[in-house]
């Protein structure tokens, strides 16, 4: 589910898109006999990843796994790259 930047301020449309995404994931799981599903919801400039799981007969859960912000212009690119690199820097460095 992808929403344009002009629609990102309309919370009703954004939330309705999330409901449609959940129903799409649930129907895909039912049709293909899956126990889980990974769904992506894009509302400019964010991309959110959701896991949908079948916990019991008729009981589905949906949880947000991650949210990533993308640059809206070339000027925002350095700050986004820094945000992506900064968490990894802490994982790579070893302290004795």
Give the distance, in angstroms, between the CA of residue 29 and the centroid of all CA atoms in the same chain. 18
Q: Give one DSSP letter per residue of 49-89, joined into a string.
A: EEEEEEEETTEEEEEEEEEEE--SSGGGHHHHHHHHHHHHH
Number of domains in the chain: 1
Asked if the structure places residue 66 within a domain, the reply is yes
Asked if the structure places residue 33 within a domain, the reply is yes
pTM score, whole prediction: 0.73
Asked if the structure places residue 81 within a domain, the reply is no
pLDDT tens for each residue of the chain, 96 residues long: 666 777 778 888 889 999 999 999 999 999 999 999 999 998 888 889 999 999 999 999 999 999 988 888 888 878 777 777 765 555 555 555
Determine the structural domain holding residue 16 and report its residue range. Answer: 2-70
């Amino acid at each position: 589910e992808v929403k344009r930047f002009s629609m990102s301020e309309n919370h009703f449309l954004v939330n309705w898109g999330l409901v449609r995404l959940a129903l799409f994931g649930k129907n895909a799981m039912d049709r293909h006999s899956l126990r889980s599903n990974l769904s992506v919801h894009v509302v400019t400039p964010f991309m959110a990843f959701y896991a949908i799981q079948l916990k019991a007969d008729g009981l589905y859960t949906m949880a947000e796994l991650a949210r990533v912000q993308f640059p809206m212009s070339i000027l925002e690119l350095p700050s986004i790259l820094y945000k992506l690199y900064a968490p990894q820097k802490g994982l790579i460095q070893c302290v004795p």
